[in-house]
Amino acid sequence: MIDWDAEPIPNFTLWEAQCKCGCGLIMLVSTTLDTLHLVRQEYAKPIVVTSWTRCKRWNEKQGGTATSYHMNGKAVDIKPEDKNDIDLLATIAEKHFGYVKQYAGGWVHVDIRGERPC
């Protein structure tokens, strides 16, 4: 279990990790958080978190799969502040996360599943 107050992680806030529907759900997995921090350190610029934890209802509303890693704290959607850096951010993320998918909308899904889905 992660105690954010005892050991806050630089560059990210607890608000960024919360479900965006307003329910307040937070699912933090230390491996996800630590890996995201490694990406941020290597990228050396701010990363915008667009989606981290999702409750079941919010995941469905966002079009997520029934087994979305967002629902267990193992996935994060991120984007660079500078949209021109999207390829660079995705390349750095691929060095650290088990699964990375870049979307045309200018964001990158990363998760710690360890293998790419079929």
Please tell me the total count of domains within the chain. Answer: 1
In a domain? residue 23: yes
Report which DSSP code applies to 49: E
The more confidently predicted of residues 31 and 3 is 31
The Cα 83–Cα 66 span in angstroms is 30
Q: Is residue 54 part of a domain?
A: yes
Q: How much is the pLDDT for 43? A: 97
pLDDT in tens, 41-50: 999 999 999 9
Three-state DSSP class for residue 109: strand
In a domain, 8, yes or no: no
Domain of 33? Answer: 14-111
> So what's the pLDDT on residue 118?
36
Residue 72 in domain:
yes
Burial of 108 (0-12, 13-18, 19+ CB in 10 A): buried
Is residue 98 in a domain? Answer: yes
What pTM, to 2 d.p., does this model score? 0.88
Mind listing the pLDDT tens digit for each residue in 53-88?
999 999 999 999 999 999 999 999 999 999 999 999
84 is a domain residue? yes
CATH number at residue 34: 3.30.1380.10
